[in-house]
Chains A and B, each alone.
Chain A
Amino acid sequence: MRNVVVLGVAQTKFTGPQEKTGVELFAEASSEAIAESRITPGDVQALFLGNALGDFCEGQGMIQAFIAQNIGCPGIPANKYDGACASASVAVRDAYVWVASGQYDIVLAGGAERAATMGTALATRTFAMFSDSRYEFPAGITFPGVFAMLSHLYSKRYDVPLDLLKEQMATVSVQSYRHGMYNPKAQMHKEVTVKDVLSSFMVSTPLQLHDCCPFSDGAAAVVLASEEAAEKLTDKPVFIIGAGQASAGPLAGQKETLPRIYSRELSSKRAYEMASVGPEDIDICELHDCFSIASIIAAESLGFFDYGTAGAAWMKGEADIGGKVAVNPSGGLKAKGHPIGATGAAQVYEVVRQLREEVEPERQVPGAKIGMTDTLGGDGGTLVNMILKRGW
């Protein structure tokens, strides 16, 4: 397998409902990523795109083919991936595999979504399609509902009183909102307090509005190249050194490990082993904080903190810049936003720019050398972890 480099990266501003089409959003991100890579669209040999709900968002299936033609790459192979909220990470990982294998030298990957355009009712319906439609959706489960149930289970399993857990979860959200304040691409630019979180609208007990990420529109794009091709194009190569992926069945079928998400444990183990690094080596991690409790669960399964202790770690600043590992300096899904088909590529965008020390000084992780992404689709049905390393 060949070494693979991330060249240019780009992200549109993530927003609420807006008027640009999915094609236009991805065109905006990809043209910027292509320009930053010092290549032309004619150099792109294949497109790997995350887009989970284009058919529901704007009545557009097979969007990847229209994008390829639209952005000046007509005729190239164009693949679309649905890994629910991890769609873009599946796309980037597959792009990585194809370049590493020697099949392609330069590819474009990323994703686009207009989840906010759907409005809350349809978005809630379609996100619930990533739960088991025959055996679990009939009971009325929704996405917040899944993580709400994991919150209660977490409280019992690790003997963290619910009031304390709620305060810990609120602290996770407060940190994410704070970083989002300094991210010009973030959807949310507001400072909230623990009290604000705990007094916000109840969505699905015990999750309140500020425990939940928003519905978002947006796109993100990355250009991957073989090390050889990249040598002529950049003197700041960021290498993908680990790329793990795993799957899991319906939530009830994960009874042995919940509230842990065992697909994450498989996926991250694969990524760590491939990269020959461990959790202690990770300087910055963009992890899948679709809900505040999801951050706590993820940080434990990734090996940053012991089971049952991540909430306390957040309260001590150990998951912040300057702590043990800087989690979600972008603002995460909570503040940056979560256009589900694009989210994983936006995590790569953030990690690459952190490693290049290009982000706003208020949220730059000083001297970051190794970064990680963590993207979850459904209730653990799809899980992708990637590890990236500064190459200079």
Chain B
Amino acid sequence: MKYTLTFDEYNKALKKNRLLGLTCTGCGEVITPPVMICPACYGKNLEITELKGEGIIQTFTVNFVAAQGRECEVPYTVVMVELDEGPWIMGNLVDVDPAVVNIDIIGKRVKMGETIGTRVFPGDAYSAGDAARPLFQFE
């Protein structure tokens, strides 16, 4: 059985600020990141779909201790966004100073967008290449 949407395809699209996922033709569930089998109905027929990249912040953290090789990024804000299509996705909130980020950002609407562009983790000795990440700003 073919893997419908590979990481490589997802990653290439995200570098162009396009967020790809899957729609289950059986139950309509929208899924990202990609999987082999629909987690909602275990259906096998999944079609590639493009998500709008908009949703609400469900939770977040401002991180001050980074993994080896990423020390230059701190402090940074990681957000878990519930996308309008349903999935939750992890990304970074980039248009707010981490120093002023607090729990009041939960519930706020955010979007990916042309104006903030994309950011790519360039990879390290262990990562088998680079990986783009969704960037969000307030709507």
Contact = CB atoms under 8 A, between A and B. Distances in A.
B51 interface: no
Interface string A174-215: 000000000000000000000000000011111100000000
Interface stretch (A60-68, A132-140, A235-243): A132-140
Nearest to B121: A138
A152 B71 contact: no
B126 A125 contact: yes
Given A129-B126, A137-B67, A249-B35, 4 more contacts: A137-B131, A139-B134, A145-B78, A202-B64
B132 A138 contact: yes
Interface in B6-36: 7, 11, 33, 35
B62 A205 contact: yes
Given A137-B121, A255-B82, A142 B106 contact: no
B33 A144 contact: no
Contact of B65 (A134, A156, A203): A203
Interface residues of B, number: 43
8 contacts: A124-B68, A125-B67, A125-B124, A135-B33, A141-B90, A149-B80, A153-B106, A258-B59
Contacts of A250: 33
Given A132-B33, A133-B127, A155 B132 contact: no
A162 B101 CA distance: 14
A142 to B, nearest CB: 6
B69 A125 contact: yes
B2 interface: no
Contacts of B61: 145, 148-149, 152, 204-207
A252 B87 contact: yes
Contacts of A122: 68
Interface residues of A, number: 41
A253 interface: yes
A339 B66 CA distance: 20
Contacts of B73: 140
A121 B71 contact: yes
B59 A149 contact: yes
A122 B125 CA distance: 12
Contacts of B58: 153, 255
Which of B70, B78, B89, B107 neighbours the largest number of chain A CB atoms within 10 Å of its CB?
A: B78
Interface string B126-139: 11000111100000
B46 to A, nearest CB: 15
B62 A149 contact: no
Which of B69, B101, B107, B127 neighbours the largest number of chain A CB atoms within 10 Å of its CB?
A: B127
Contacts of B33: 132, 134-135, 250, 252
A120 B90 contact: no
Given A135-B90, A139-B78, A140-B76, A121 B68 contact: yes
A251 interface: yes
Contacts of B71: 121
A140 B131 contact: no
A156 B107 CA distance: 10
B66 A203 contact: no
Interface in B79-113: 80, 82, 87-92, 101, 103, 106-107
Contacts of B117: none
A142 B66 contact: yes
A140 B106 contact: no
B45 interface: no
A150 interface: yes
A222 interface: no
A274 B82 CA distance: 37
The 3 closest A-B pairs by CB, nearest first: A148-B61, A125-B67, A121-B68
Contact of B131 (A138, A153, A203): A138
A253 B65 contact: no
Contact of B133 (A138, A148, A204): A138
A203 B78 CA distance: 13
A342 interface: no
B43 interface: no
